[in-house]
Amino acid sequence: MMMKPNKPTPVNPPKPLHLGTHIDDLEKLYMKLPADIRDRELDLICRSAKKLIEQSDRYYLEKDEEQAYVGYMRLMNLVQTIRQNKEYARKKQMVTKLLGTQADFNRIFTKLNLLKTSLEERYREQALRKAGATPSITVVTNSERNQATPTVTTHFIGNRQAITAKELHDVMNDPRVSLLIMDCRSAKDFEESHLRYSYLVNVPEHLLVAGMTAGKINHALPPESRILWSNRMVKEHVVLMDWNTSGNPVKDTPIYVLNYILCHYDQDIEDTKIIRLDGGYESFLLYYPAACTNPNYCPPLALYTASENIDDIEYPNINDIPMKEESFSKRGFKPTIDRSSKVAAVSLYQARQKPLEDILVEHEQILDKSKQNALDIINTETELQNLEQQEPSDAGLDETQESLLFEVMQLKDRQRDYEAEKARILEEEESYKEMEKEKQERGERISTEQAERLEREAYERRLLEKEREQRELEEKCQRLAREREAKLALAREQKRHLKENVPEGPKSYPDQQLAHVATTNSMPLFDRSAKPLADHNHNVRTTSDLDVVQRDFAPVYGNVGRGLTGLKNLGNTCYMNSILQCLSNTYFLNEFFHDASFKMRLNRNNKTQGKIGEEVAAVIKALWTGQYKCIASKNLRYVVGQYERQFGGIEQQDSHEFLTILMDWLHSDLQTIQMQISTSLDQLPPSEKAWIEHFKGKGSYISELFYGQIKSTVKCTRCHNESATYESFSNLSLELPQDSNICYLENCLDMYFNGEEVRGWHCPKCKSNQDAIKKLDISRLPSIMVIHFKRFYADPETAATIYRKKQTLVKFPLNDLNMTRYLARTEVNRNKRLTTFRYHLYGVSNHYGSMESGHYTAFCLNNIHQKWFKFDDYNVSSIDASDVQASAAYILFYSCLPDRPQSDVR
């Protein structure tokens, strides 16, 4: 019997290409998701994702490779949205049940890899056919592929932290190894030359700074990189690579930060092994140039070297140390006029070529603003007088009266700023005129035409007329203020008389109304808090569900923009409201508190038991719903008052003191991150050892964002021996000039960091007391730089301790604050990443009035609208960026993180 040969089993060919001519054409299809997808319920999104899986699987079986590829890629995009949903942490089991486990997604990624390889080959063949060429097809069987590929198991790393270039090359060619490579060099270097590997994503070094999280990196990456970045959730191994790091990476370098982010701020890769490429891309390029896109590209000069290789001497020459007395001898970011040197004034104006006409125009603009401001003061004062004459039957009179009083304070502060600006301009005018006079005496000609001189004289006459009008308005303002003060004195006398003659008992409403009469010299205490708060800590609270705490925000409903909700004043709590609004507009902190996973970071074993962090997060989330015009932070105030009694009352407090204590509380509430120590403490650099000891080996997201470190160097003037100590800080407190109406932020920074003489310092080398110079430098830059101005001081001229306020107008930059010059020379390498970006201002806590009578507001840059807004308790209004600089500025909030559109980041 003759056996018939077996016929080969027919294989269904893939369906013809019909969606594009290149793999990039498919990106436009899979990146499209509904605009409202983020606002939908998590259950609905998951059901949509499940249908997408079923549909993509059907396309895959039908050999419609393009539709299957688009479907699976769209699924990956949708999974990212699901993981960012606020309900994801709570409903993770439901999501897994609907969409499958990590093993299921591993199979999807395998399909995606096969589809991408097949489609790229088919698109190439299609292009060749259209060009009239014959494609050459090489068929490689599985057995041949296995013989050509080294046999490497997925356990090739074990417990090692690094991999060699040879090992990486081997596993890149082994299809059985589940691997993703992250290249953390700059985007430019990556574009010029990178590995030839499908699962390779560039995480640019400028994103890798303290305070970054995996979610924020995902947002900052371009769309084509986000899908590759999401592969970290299903890959068994992630290899990190920079240019040339060998051994343990230097702290705060990009590869160190990326490793830290993946280990501490990425909940999606709990089972993924993180490995570093020893020797970096430079090593791989040396051994396997053919596996790189551009073997001829040269690496940059090494930026990061171990701190031990740097000279430990901070100031080799003691004469190089600038002294504090030089701090206010020069301006900051704006040139000034040296009144003592007429030659200097001439050269300055020759260099600037700023004609007197420009100065006069600026003078006129200031006068116009000052005149309008004086009219606003008069109108507000008149409105206050009208309110005082009304019967106290309206419960809202107190609130309106207080609001008008605060407005008068702010207008008067602004008027003071205009006077300071006008004085500066008058000084420039006088110096320019002196220069002209000198040139005329030398027979030189200033004006080219006589008409210019006549026009200028006419301009000056107009300015004199405007100044006369302004003086009249100011006199009227002062008269109104005196009248209001006289009425207040009469009201006080009436109240004193009533107290002496009326029996003890409940105070009548008229007496309370008299106590609330507004004044510019005495701050009324408006206690508008509702009933005493119940002890909300007695509510049911479990570690598995922290949202069961019942919070009474007492909201006033109204659709406003996100982040534009005001805070009610609960009895002189404007100091607290001002700080909360600045923290609310700290973009990275805001994002952290909006992520449900932050609750996993709460420390329940400290003094405040995580309650402060929990309540601050609740307030910030309520401020960003966009559903309320204003809310009340009752629970937060109550909890804060439990741990610091002064903040629980209705007395006015200092916003800087509140911020400093709040930062310590928040750090303690979130201090759950174990610091990575690769060696013993004694072998660490002194700055690193001091940092770890200060935080007791445990960090927090707050310490990564807000805390920096100061290096204090004392140098002996006799033997030049140096001694250094280190101290951590969450804000810098800067001195202001004693008798100056205007100065620049750089002057204040110089005053803080410049050297000062120390008498009788015991030199360890001389073994005796010697004169020395003490100098401060920054050894660790924070991502968020908080700067406080010391405006309040004890008046030395008074017998009793009386505090005064410095009303100095500090000119500070809104962008490009450069802190590089204040870095310790021995610590420059560690701060390389933060010096890539200049600091930009995003928040200001303002104080208006005096020590006895004051009010706090906040100016904040809204990240969504990219506009400045004024937060005055429950009132929120937009302001112009030019109005942010004011003498009321008390605390500045700067950020060097890329939380603005990339076009704005420098």
Asked whether 256 and 262 are in contact (CB, 8 A), the reply is: no
Per-residue H/E/C for 381-395:
HHHHHHHHCCCCCCC
Residue 768, pLDDT above cutoff 50: yes
- 175 CB-side CA count, 13 A: 12
Name the pLDDT band for 853 (thresholds 50, 70, 90): confident
Name the pLDDT band for 831 (thresholds 50, 70, 90): low
State residue 110's pLDDT score.
Answer: 77
pLDDT tens-digit map of 56-114:
988 988 889 999 988 888 888 888 788 777 777 778 778 888 888 776 777 787 788 78
- Please name each of the domains of the chain with its CATH number: 23-129 (1.20.58.80), 162-291 (3.40.250.10), 556-672 (3.90.70.10)
Mean pLDDT of 113-135: 81
For the chain, give the percent of residues with pLDDT over 90: 32
Cβ-Cβ contacts under 8 Å for 170 (sequence gap 6 or more): 150, 152, 156
761: DSSP letter = E
What's the helix, strand, coil split of the chain in %, to 5?
Answer: 45, 15, 40
State residue 699's pLDDT score.
Answer: 92
Return the residue matching tokens 């410095």: 806
CA angle 304, 309, 313 (to 5 degrees): 115
Mean pLDDT of 572-578: 94
Annotation says 536 is catalytic: no
Edge-to-edge strand ranges of the sheet holding 566-567: 556-557, 628-631, 566-567
Q: Considering 46, 855, 860, 896, which one is annotated as catalytic? A: 855
- Judged by average pLDDT, the poorest of 231-240, 406-415, 664-673 is 406-415
- Rounded to the nearest 10 degrees, the angle between the axes of helix 65-84 and helix 92-99 is 170
State residue 444's pLDDT score.
Answer: 56
Cβ-Cβ contacts under 8 Å for 762 (sequence gap 6 or more): 768, 769, 770
Name the pLDDT band for 694 (thresholds 50, 70, 90): very high
Cα-based distances in Å from 268 to 7, 58, 230, 261, 414: 49, 28, 9, 12, 51
For the chain, give the percent of residues with pLDDT over 70: 75
Residue 769, pLDDT above cutoff 80: yes
Mean pLDDT of 375-397: 69
- Highest mean pLDDT (candidates 293-302, 575-584, 765-774): 575-584
- Highest mean pLDDT (candidates 40-49, 345-354, 671-680): 40-49
State residue 870's pLDDT score.
Answer: 97
Mean pLDDT of 130-138: 62
Higher pLDDT, 330 or 416: 416
Mean pLDDT of all residues in the chain? Answer: 78
Residue 578, pLDDT above cutoff 70: yes
Mean pLDDT of 219-231: 86
Residue 498, pLDDT above cutoff 80: no
How far is residue 819's CA from residue 827's CA, in Å, rounded to a whole number? 13
In sign, the C-alpha dihedral spanning 42, 43, 45, 46 is positive
Name the pLDDT band for 135 (thresholds 50, 70, 90): low
Number of Cβ atoms within 10 Å of the Cβ of 721: 15
Asked whether 24 and 123 are in contact (CB, 8 A), the reply is: no
* Chain Cα centroid distance, residue 272: 30
- Highest mean pLDDT (candidates 202-216, 524-538, 741-755): 741-755
- Judged by average pLDDT, the poorest of 427-436, 517-526, 567-576 is 517-526
Residue 638, pLDDT above cutoff 80: yes
Q: Considering 46, 477, 574, 630, which one is annotated as catalytic? A: 574
Higher pLDDT, 183 or 476: 183
pLDDT tens-digit map of 286-319:
888 889 999 888 766 544 444 444 446 777 677 7
Mean pLDDT of 760-788: 93
How far is residue 790's CA from residue 733's CA, in Å, rounded to a whole number? 6
pTM of the full structure: 0.69
3 state DSSP class of 698: strand
Name the pLDDT band for 832 (thresholds 50, 70, 90): low
- Judged by average pLDDT, the poorest of 225-234, 539-548, 777-786 is 539-548
Mean pLDDT of 602-626: 94
Nearest Cα to 315, choosing from 753, 886, 5, 611?
Answer: 753
State residue 748's pLDDT score.
Answer: 95
Residue 902, pLDDT above cutoff 80: no
State residue 684's pLDDT score.
Answer: 85
Number of Cβ atoms within 10 Å of the Cβ of 536: 17
In sign, the C-alpha dihedral spanning 534, 540, 544, 545 is negative
φ/ψ (deg, to 5) at 535: -70, 95
* Conformational region of residue 571, where left means phi above 0, alpha means psi within -120 to 50, and beta covers everything else: left
State residue 689's pLDDT score.
Answer: 92
3 state DSSP class of 414: helix
Burial class (CB in 10 A: 0-12, 13-18, 19+), 481: middle
State residue 541's pLDDT score.
Answer: 37
Nearest Cα to 877, choosing from 415, 566, 627?
Answer: 566
Return the residue matching tokens 């092994």: 273
- Highest mean pLDDT (candidates 225-229, 459-463, 745-749): 745-749
β-bridge pairing 803-805 and 809-811: unpaired
Asked whether 652 and 523 are in contact (CB, 8 A), the reply is: yes
Residue 507, pLDDT above cutoff 50: no
Tokens of 758: 């120390």
Asked whether 436 and 346 are in contact (CB, 8 A), the reply is: no
- Highest mean pLDDT (candidates 352-366, 513-527, 837-851): 837-851
Which secondary-structure segment (H or E) carries 777?
strand 768-780
Q: Specify which residues 768 forms β-bridges with.
A: 763
Mean pLDDT of 415-425: 81
Name the pLDDT band for 487 (thresholds 50, 70, 90): low
Residue 528, pLDDT above cutoff 50: no
Residue 348, pLDDT above cutoff 80: no
- Rounded to the nearest 10 degrees, the angle between the axes of helix 574-584 and helix 634-643 is 110
State residue 501's pLDDT score.
Answer: 55
Mean pLDDT of 327-344: 47
Name the pLDDT band for 138 (thresholds 50, 70, 90): very low
How far is residue 582's CA from residue 882's CA, in Å, rounded to a whole number? 19
Mean pLDDT of 176-188: 90
Tokens of 625: 């719903």
843: DSSP letter = E
β-bridge pairing 889-895 and 784-789: antiparallel
Annotation says 574 is catalytic: yes
Asked whether 708 and 728 are in contact (CB, 8 A), the reply is: yes
How far is residue 527's CA from residue 535's CA, in Å, rounded to a whole number? 20
Cα-based distances in Å from 548 to 532, 534, 608, 650, 651: 21, 15, 18, 28, 31
Asked whether 303 and 267 are in contact (CB, 8 A), the reply is: no
Mean pLDDT of 484-503: 59
Higher pLDDT, 33 or 645: 645
Higher pLDDT, 392 or 184: 184
β-bridge pairing 768-780 and 162-163: unpaired
